[in-house]
Amino acid sequence: MTNTNEIIAAIDIGTTKIVAIAGKVTSNGELQILGLEKTKSTGVVKGVIQNINHTIEAIREVVERLQKNTNLKIDKAYVGIAGQHIRSLKNRQFKYIQNGSEIITQEDIDTILKENFRIPIQVGEQILHVIPQDYVVDKDKGITDPLGMAGRRLDGNFNIIIGRTASARNIENCVKAVDVEIEELVLEPLASSLAVLTKEEKEAGVVLVDIGGGTTDITLYFDGVLRHTAVIPFGGDVVTKDLKEGCHLLLKQAEALKVQFGEAVEQLADADKVVNIPQTGGWDPKEIAFKTVAQIIQCRMEEIMDRVKYQIDMTPYGDKLGAGIVLTGGGSMLKHLDVLTKERLGHDVKIGYPNASSLIKVDETINIPMYATSIGLLLNGLNKLQHNPGDGVSNQTKTKKRGLKRFFETLFDN
């Protein structure tokens, strides 16, 4: 049972923002959000920490503000890990059942799961998650839970998610520097799926496209199982840079232009409207047509969506996406992006808000796509407390009291 009034905290270290969030478990087992603080991120590039000192200062700022505004002491937190270094591969393991009764036990299942942690990977990498796809008992395929079945051989198909050890170590060092202990490192797109996707969508087949500042994360679910993950090294930041160069603006002007007036489809932009950029810092004022802004944005978003399509086409599930495409993250808030995505990918599209789970009540002020990962990290913590791990997130090893020597070695329940 989950302890009532248990406090759960999370830290989302992103390319454009760093968020600290805390919630309390209520008497009915739900999570009540107590506070959320964010600040600009200047030490992270494409989801990877590049400046330790800048990142520490940003984390310290949001944690201290969260503690002050909630009157809480944040000493441990669930923390996200992401970046273009994340990759996945498929693997198959098998085991002969030799327990006398030829009945598959949990020990048999755990054995082939653990074997995945021994596969050869590149130097400087670590296995983050091992996610079961399905099992084969003798010649019976497509089994989701082989426990208790009779058979002489158990085969398992697994999706293995891999990341750089140095990236994990940098995150750990930054968080520890502000006197916060990492309760668990969680792959950010998996956290986002907890907040945004429903169980029914995962069963029907769905692709979550999480458009962050530095990267675009892709997760594909079918039959309730995570089947594919990928990271595209482009996000909202490249759109801002394109506007800066294409319209000859300062970076902060380009960002404001994108957020306030950006559209993803040139044909839907108003041909008669212009944006007036005032004189600043000695620069002359200028007028920029809505059509021009939309044209620049559309070119970059088409490139991102074409890469999403490539990742979908790599899998055998492209024609099985009953729930289509769900867009989330700060970049998904571009006007008409759903229209462009549907045209480019050929699937139904909707914007994903972090209120899909019945276990958490999300206030309107934070029920926006840019907080999907932050709220998902809290939900992952709630799942842990309820001993109900889901979506493969719980395969991640806790760093608590173990350090990186034991990082990613312990296998959690599935």
* Buried b / exposed e along 249-260 (16+ C-beta atoms within 10 A): beeebbbbbbee
Three-class SS of residue 1? coil
φ and ψ at 189, to 5 degrees? -65, -30
- 182: β partners: 77
**Does the structure show a pLDDT above 60 at 393?**
no
Fold of 199-352: Nucleotidyltransferase; domain 5 (3.30.420)
**Does the structure show a pLDDT above 90 at 392?**
no
Q: Please give the pLDDT value at position 59.
A: 97
Q: Please give the pLDDT value at position 27.
A: 86
Q: What is the pLDDT of residues 176-223, one digit of tens each?
A: 999 999 998 899 999 999 999 999 999 999 999 999 998 999 999 999
Tell me the C-alpha distance between 165 and 63, whole Å: 25
Q: Please give the pLDDT value at position 29.
A: 85
φ and ψ at 72, to 5 degrees? -115, 160
**Does the structure show a pLDDT above 60 at 398?**
no
Q: What is the pLDDT of residues 325-371, one digit of tens each?
A: 999 999 999 999 999 999 999 999 999 999 999 899 899 999 999 99
What are the structure tokens assigned to 126, written together?
A: 């670590």
Predicted TM-score (pTM) of this structure: 0.86
Q: Please give the pLDDT value at position 129.
A: 84
Domain covering 87-164: architecture: 2-Layer Sandwich (3.30)
Nearby residues of 71 by Cβ (< 8 Å), 6 or more positions away: none
What are the structure tokens assigned to 40, written together?
A: 């600009």
Three-class SS of residue 147? coil
pLDDT band for 85, please (50, 70, 90 cuts).
Answer: confident
pLDDT band for 4, please (50, 70, 90 cuts).
Answer: low
**Lowest-pLDDT range of 2-11, 33-42, 101-110, 143-152:** 2-11
Percent of the chain with pLDDT over 70: 91
Q: Please give the pLDDT value at position 128.
A: 86
Q: Where are the domains of the chain?
A: 87-164, 199-352
Q: What is the pLDDT of residues 278-314, one digit of tens each?
A: 867 666 788 999 999 999 999 999 999 999 999 999 9
Q: Please give the pLDDT value at position 99.
A: 77
Tell me the C-alpha distance between 31 and 23, whole Å: 6
Mean pLDDT of the chain: 89
Q: What is the pLDDT of residues 222-276, one digit of tens each?
A: 999 999 999 999 899 999 999 999 998 989 999 999 999 999 999 999 999 999 8
**348: burial class by Cβ within 10 Å (0-12, 13-18, 19+)?**
middle
Domains 87-164 and 199-352 share a fold: no
Gyration radius of the chain's alpha carbons: 22
The helix-helix angle for 165-176 and 52-70 (nearest 10°) equals: 50
pLDDT band for 158, please (50, 70, 90 cuts).
Answer: very high
